[in-house]
Structure formats: structure tokens, C-alpha cells
Structure 1
Amino acid sequence: MTPYRPEFSAALEMFARISDAMAAQNLSRPILVGGAAVEIYSLSNINTGDFDIVTGSQTCFEGILVEHGFVRPSGPGMATRGWIHPDLKLGFEVVSSTLLDGQAERERVRPIRIGDSGIIEVIATEDIIADRMGQYASGTARDMLDQARTLFALSEGLDLDYMERRIRYETAGDYGVEDLQP
């Protein structure tokens, strides 16, 4: 039984099939970042409304989305760059072509098998925590400190030296691992 809420599990399965389709075309698998990565690592203790994706092959990725039934919302009040599947309650959006502007170490990306659906790649826990701390430090997303602290508390085996460097970079030196303690 999956530890995730049903709609998130369904979206993960869809993302795994799309990731496998990209790999079948000899393209790098897209990387899940943002709130969906937080939901994975928090086992749905923190929920997301969309899947933020990093891929250097956006055109191909979006073509595969269409093949899997996704549509781009249009019309009044639909100012989104993302894609929606009529059966899922979560949108998918390409947010970048490079992982954290090239600052994250690609070899830390975590492959995760999603049942029989396929394999997805997810940003490293240390990098998503650093990303959340960076958003918190910017002053535009005060709730991100709680997300970072929750992920830190739930995670085991973190590379604290790497995470310290990443947090310091993302926060322009203002915060570090010690700020993850409540």
C-alpha cells in the first residue's frame, strides 16, 4: 500500500510512465522538484497542487504529456504554463531546463521505482531542503521554513556538509543547517 494520498499516487504513476517514455527515446528522465518532491519525502505530510519538472527536453516532454491525455488549459482565467490531465487533480509544469540553475549535483538525484509504472527521478533531499530555505530567505515564502524543517526532521542519512553548502548558497550565506532546528 502506498503511503501517499490517492490522487498523488495516481499522478506519480502517470509521471513514471511519462519518464519511462522519455527514457525509451534515449532522453534523460525529467526530474521532479518543488512541492511534489516535498510530498514524496514527507510521505504526503505536506501536500502539493502540482508537479514541477526540470527537463532539458521540454518539447519532447510536452509531446509525451499530450500522448498521455494532458491538455493545456485555455480560456478566461486560465493563465497557466502547465498541463492538466482530466483524470488527475494535479497539474504538470516544466519550470526549468537545468536543476537549480546548475548548482545541484546531478549524481545526487534519486531514482525511485513507482510500482509497476516505472522509474522517476527526484531532486535530492538536501537540495530540496536548500531550495525551501532559499525561498524562505527571499522573504516571499515564509512557510518554506516549516517545510524545510519538516523534511529535515523526517530524513535520515543526509549529507550535512553538502546541505550546509547548498543552504548557504541558496540563502546568500544567511542560513545554514543549524537553522533547521526548531
Structure 2
Amino acid sequence: MTTLGFQAPILVGGAAVELFTRSAISTGDFDVSTARQSAFESALRDLGFIKPSGPGVATRGWMHPDLALGFEVVSSALLGGLADRDRVKMIDLGEDGVATIIAVEDIIADRMGQFASGTAPEMLDQAWRLLVLHSEVDRAYLDRRVREETAGDYGIDDIKETDPA
């Protein structure tokens, strides 16, 4: 997409957690944030991805029939525009170009937001594991982001004080 002059899609969600935890937490799909959904989906189609449909199909994303990989555009603005795009990490893929991934602070905040919703208690464990593995995080930024994602109900201390193991 960058060859078309667009900003690269940003990997978010479970796949970002998997990368940041070195596969200690695994996922089966790739969620991305991009303001150019139609261009992204066109590129997926060109690579052989299909959009499954029909009875019993629960995905809104794109699947590759041979690779067993799935992609879904989950937002047009990174975490609703709350995440600092300047913190996005670039991963050099060599000849294949560059991939972009959400900052670890923002994925931790996202996990805490899901935990705070009351529908995903396992997200607290993910946030804790990410924080343990990435002790170099910008703690002030992380605390602000967790408070934003949880409507002020939680902060960084709520992660540090919790050992789900």
C-alpha cells in the first residue's frame, strides 16, 4: 500500500499481542487498522484472499484458502484516534518491505479497555504478560492510555499489582 502512496496498515489486536509476547499468547487472525480499507482489501484479493460468505460463516474478514491466514480491517483510525501514531513500530521485512505494528503501550491499553468492559476478563492477563515482557514501556504514556481506554477506572498500577498466574 505504501507503493500506492498510502500509509501502511497497522497490525493491531491478537496478532500484535502474539508478536509482542513471542508467541506465548497465540492468535489465528490478523486485525489491521487502515484508513484505506478498499485499497487494502483490493491488495488482499490480488494475493488470493477471499471473503467467505454463506450460512455458518462468522467472519467479516478475508481468508486465504491455501495459507489458512485471515485478515480483518477493524478500524480506520488507530484505536479510535486515541493512540499516538508516532509510536507505531516499524519492522523491516527485508526484500518484502516494512510492516507496522501498534506500540506495546497502546496494545496493553487496548487489552485493559476490553478487560474493563466486563466481557473479556482474560485481557487482564494479556496486559500483565505484555507489561512483564516490556518493562521498558513509557509508563506515563501507558498510564494515560489505560485511563483513556477504561474511562478512568484503571491505570498502570492495576496491571502491575495483578499477577494472574
Query: TM-score normalized by structure 2?
Result: 0.94
2:20 pairs with 38, 41, 48, which one?
A: 41
What do the CA deviations read for 1:125-151 (whole angstroms, capped 9, x no partner)?
A: 000000000000100100000000000
1:129 aligns with 2:129: no
Q: Which residue of 1 aligns with 2:6?
A: 27
Counterpart secondary structure, 2:32 = strand
Q: Which residue of 1 aligns with 2:88?
A: 109
Question: Partners of 1:31 and 1:173 in 2: how far apart?
Answer: 26
What do the CA deviations read for 1:62-89 (whole angstroms, capped 9, x no partner)?
A: 0000010100112211132100012222
Q: Which residue of 2 aligns with 1:69?
A: 48
Partner amino acid for 2:74? V
1:168 aligns with 2:147: yes
Following superposition, which runs of at least 4 residues in structure 1 exceed 3 angstroms of deviation? Answer: none
Count of residue pairs brought into register by the alignment: 161
Question: Partners of 1:102 and 1:69 in 2: how far apart?
Answer: 31
Question: Partners of 1:88 and 1:141 in 2: how far apart?
Answer: 29
Counterpart secondary structure, 2:120 = coil
Q: What is the CA distance between 1:115 and its match in structure 2?
A: 4.5
Q: Which residue of 2 aligns with 1:150?
A: 129
Q: Which residue of 2 aligns with 1:51?
A: 30
Counterpart secondary structure, 2:137 = coil
Q: Which residue of 1 aligns with 2:68?
A: 89
Aligned sequence identity (%): 58
Question: Partners of 1:130 and 1:117 in 2: how far apart?
Answer: 30
RMSD of the alignment, in Å? 1.0
Partner amino acid for 1:168? R
1:179 pairs with 125, 142, 158, which one?
A: 158
What do the CA deviations read for 1:4-39 (whole angstroms, capped 9, x no partner)?
A: xxxxxxxxxxxxxxxxxx011111100000000000
Q: What is the CA distance between 1:156 and its match in structure 2?
A: 3.4
Partner amino acid for 1:76? P
